[in-house]
Chains A and B, each alone.
Chain A
Amino acid sequence: MKPGQESKGAAIDLESISKAYGGFKALDGVSLRIEPGEFMTLLGPSGSGKTTTLNVVAGFTDLTSGKLLVGGRNVVGVPAHKRNIGVVFQHYALFPHMSVGRNVAYPLTLRGVDQAERKARVARALDMVKMGDFAHRYPSELSGGQQQRVALARAIVFDPPLLLMDEPLGALDKKLREWLQLEIKRIHRELGTTFVYVTHDQEEALVLSDRIAVFNRGRIEQVGTGRELYDEPTTLFVGRFIGDSTVLRGEARSDGVSTALRIAGETVTAPRRIAGEASPVMLLRPEKLAIRRPGQDAAGTSNRLPGTIAEAIYLGSGSKYEVRLADGSMAIVRTPLTGDSFGLGDKVELCFDGADAKLLADDSSADATLT
């Protein structure tokens, strides 16, 4: 980055963007503001509209309606090759007939950068992705991870104010993926460019992003930091998509200050209520749940539900249990190593503090999307 420059990133404004294919709405009124220099991840299951959004920003796909501003400039109708946006693809898309060096030099050649400067910038970009020694190799001589690093160098060498990445690590194995995630994070810090990253992997999204936009069925469900999405999901879909969760459903009763759910004869309460007509469910994170042997004293937890251990997984740092409740649903519990340990088939009681339960409107259709 040149000194004296605050942020080289462009702000992006999506204003109620829609994209229809015939009768199918791939994007249905998506609005999102991405700050300059921000690392924004578009997260969602396949077909949720995250890649379509990326393609609209890149200029590969026309939008049906809405406004799109990049760096304050309306780019609707501007063809992809005039947008000056870097794109990294899942399939690398390196030119097989050019060496690594020529691949990276390609956008500079198109921009009429003279040879001396071109050479210097190619070398700098390749050094940044740690591929400096490979300039004379051809893409077919490189591994997948190396090819993707070259593709990244090619997408940043012309200093675009915005870099789009479409599941760039999707084709790589887990170990390489985790290492490259950290590399991408470092490069984002060094460049100061706005990054928009598409993935369906919520862990990846949590590792990388400043903020995450969760997509579902062509709409954005919620935008926030990883912590906000985990701790304060506003929809059941988000709560279930980010991290492990237990969803309690039952006959609901609300008295104005608290909500009670009746589940297979037992009642649990939370000191909250939700607005509107929708029937509420309770969403609980695994570390907010505890399990006890029946009858054991459970001070400090206001709610108890009987269940049976259906799965016990030793994680090293603790244990993870799946508990089958009386109504047949599953609860996921993570316990610290110090607590009791339980075996398959043990009768237990699931305990939690009502204040830890998130009350969310039941969107059973979210289940269908998750399967």
Chain B
Amino acid sequence: MEMKPLTRVILGLVCLLVAIWLVAPTLVVVPMSFNENKSLAFPPQGFSWQWYLNFVTNPDWMSSFLNSVKVASIVAVLATVLGTLAAFGLDRMKARPANLLRMLMLTPMVVPGVVLAIGIYAVYLDAHLVGTLTGFVLAHTILALPFVLIAVSASLEVFDRRLETAAASLGAGALTAFRTVTLPLILPGILSGLLFAFATSFDEIVVSLFITNPYLKTLPVQIFSSITRDADPTVAAVGTILLFATTILIGGGMLLLGRERKGSQ
């Protein structure tokens, strides 16, 4: 449909406003991270790299960052393996029990985080898991699993199982058929599940606040406690780093997937 020039301009402006509204709160952290003063006031004053330096040199920040990377990496792998296996099992089960089980496995997405956190905390106190790596990994894996399950299930939904039969007729055993045919075709789903799982864990704050202790903090916990204690602009520096890191990660992943898809079309 042909649009009048005026309509086009108005539409463009509205889109721009919505975009600003969506992105602005995130982008605010960027100028704040270069503040000269130890304050989170906006607009910031002067220019300095000191908060970035602080992030890298302050052991509190660095250790919590490394903890988060460690936890999120283990969770991503664990949740991806478990979620992929679950998706496979459910895909090859009878529909009715599969749907029930699927709903059960998706509950961590629906249940309010606080409720889950209380439950986990209560169990962890007895099991001495509070403030441990194992504790964080287990809790975050529960939260990340549904994302992998959904992503891989969606891939399996469009996967033509008759290709496995064809592979068998050509001489491929079940494992070979999986490795050479099924896996490459559902890999985009598995990778996006992996990405979601990593992000879910890296980003998690509610449950983490309950099961953290002074010896093991993740980055979101450190950010939260730092900002409640004093107005430390290091928070803004961390925010900026995360913002660019995730943009590059997600953007790169999308580019990669896009090229993959183009290649196989």
Binding site for B on A (CB under 8 A): 58-60, 79-82, 84-87, 89, 91, 93, 95-97, 106-107, 110-111, 138, 140-141, 154-155, 158
Contact = CB atoms under 8 A, between A and B. Distances in A.
B170 A89 contact: no
A158 B184 contact: no
Interface string B158-181: 001011011111111100110011
Contacts of B162: 89, 91, 93
Contacts of A86: 169
B163 A93 contact: yes
Contact of A89 (B166, B171, B185, B264): B166
Contact of B169 (A80, A97, A141): A80
A111 B170 CA distance: 10
Contacts of A93: 160, 162-163, 165-166
A198 B60 CA distance: 72
A129 B202 CA distance: 54
Interface residues of B, number: 21
Query: For chain B, what secondary structure do more than half of its interface residues adopt (helix, strand, loop), or is it mixed?
Result: helix
Nearest to A110: B171
A58 B169 contact: yes
User: Which of the listed residues B169, B171, B180 has the most CB atoms from chain A within 10 Å of its own CB?
Assistant: B169
Given A79-B173, A81-B172, 12 more contacts: A60-B168, A81-B169, A81-B171, A81-B173, A87-B169, A93-B166, A95-B167, A95-B185, A96-B185, A106-B170, A110-B171, A138-B265
Contacts of A79: 168, 173
A110 B168 CA distance: 11
A9 B163 CA distance: 26
Nearest to B169: A87
Contacts of A80: 165, 168-169
Contact of B180 (A84, A87, A106): A106
Contacts of B176: 81, 110
B165 A97 contact: no
Contacts of B160: 91, 93
